[in-house]
Amino acid sequence: MKTALCSFCLKSGILCSKCQSKIKSGEVSETDLKIARILLSLEAANPTLQDVHFHKAVEADDILALIVGRGDMPTFFGQGRKVIKVLEEKVGKKIRILEECGDDRKFLEDLFAPLSIVTINTIWLPDGTTETRVILRKRGRNPPPIKVKAIKEIAKKVRDITLRVEFD
Ligand SMILES: [Zn+2]
């Protein structure tokens, strides 16, 4: 797995001065470090993790979103979401996997999965700012299995998108 921290430091748990300064400056958070160490420990059992780029983790409420490289998603979802399940168990939060590149539509689809998006459009507000309206397909009468507020926070933090979420 490729991250901003060296794998030697991740393995040993003792950080070199370079890695220490990345934590100190905030370039890499304590959560990033924790996740990177877990991912590294899973490499032996999940060899494709060796090629994964882990950029950072973004938290909101009970959701922890991992920003990974383009094309890295299958590694997390393979074998019945094995890697995600281990992460969720160790971190105690719901894990979302988001690819760093890609357009906003893909980003939103991954963010809301497994719910499906009916429409996405842009709303222009009188003050010149925009909101992105996402209409989701409602499944029966049950309340949606997601925390909309946390999802909105993730979208803002990762892509600076202000979301308005509705159900059809
Ligand atoms: Zn280091």
- What contacts 106, CB < 8 A, 6 or more positions away? 99
How much distance in Å is there from the Cα of 27 to the middle of ligand 1? 13
Residues with CB under 5 A from ligand 1 (ion): 6, 9, 16, 19
> Tens digit of pLDDT for each residue in 133-157?
999 988 777 777 788 999 999 999 9
How much distance in Å is there from the Cα of 31 to the middle of ligand 1? 16
How much distance in Å is there from the Cα of 28 to the middle of ligand 1? 12
How much distance in Å is there from the Cα of 25 to the middle of ligand 1? 14
Mean per-residue pLDDT, 114-135:
94
Residue 113: what pLDDT? 87
**What pTM was estimated for this model as a whole?**
0.91
> Tens digit of pLDDT for each residue in 6-56?
989 999 989 999 999 999 999 999 999 999 999 999 999 999 999 999 999
How much distance in Å is there from the Cα of 21 to the middle of ligand 1? 9
How much distance in Å is there from the Cα of 15 to the middle of ligand 1? 5
How much distance in Å is there from the Cα of 2 to the middle of ligand 1? 13
How much distance in Å is there from the Cα of 14 to the middle of ligand 1? 8
Residue 139: what pLDDT? 74
| 3-class SS string, the chain | CECCCCHHHHHHCCCCHHHHHHHHHCCCCHHHHHHHHHHHHCCCCCHHHHHCEEEEEEEECCEEEEEECCCCHHHHHHHHHHHHHHHHHHHCCEEEEEECCCCHHHHHHHHHCCCCEEEEEEEECCCCCEEEEEEECCCCCCCCCCCHHHHHHHHHHHHCCCEEEEEC
